[in-house]
Structure 1
Amino acid sequence: VDLVPGGDRQSPINIRWRDSVYDPGLKPLTISYDPATCLHVWNNGYSFLVEFEDSTDKSECAPFSTGSP
């Protein structure tokens, strides 16, 4: 896994909060996963990456996050 920052598609992005518009229809962002499938967690100080065991290809099941995009 390459954890080196760089390139033209990297965070952080410039979110101009003064130009932001609140959408009351958005639901809270929730993230869930099965801890039994977690193989490793990396924290590089400004983001994190989680590697899961996925031998049953659960990628087509219900999404891990719900609410806001």
Structure 2
Amino acid sequence: MIVTFDLLENEITWQSTLHQLNSDILKRHVLFHGRLSDINISFLYCEATFSGKIIDSTNEVVGCFYMTTS
């Protein structure tokens, strides 16, 4: 699957090919590519839309991600 990440901070967008989806893998990709000021992030995911939000430690949305099949 291809996951597209959009981060509001620094206005960064990129795509990654992932073979499984879990919070550890998402966090690794966001911290490596995103250069966020707050590394304490979490994820909300909606299975119906295949998309999610990236949330920082103050519960602010700092970005989003969505999946497409390759």
TM-score, length-normalised on structure 1?
A: 0.24
Larger radius of gyration: 1
Query: Could you say which structure has the higher strand fraction?
Result: 2
Query: Could you say which structure has the higher helix fraction?
Result: 2
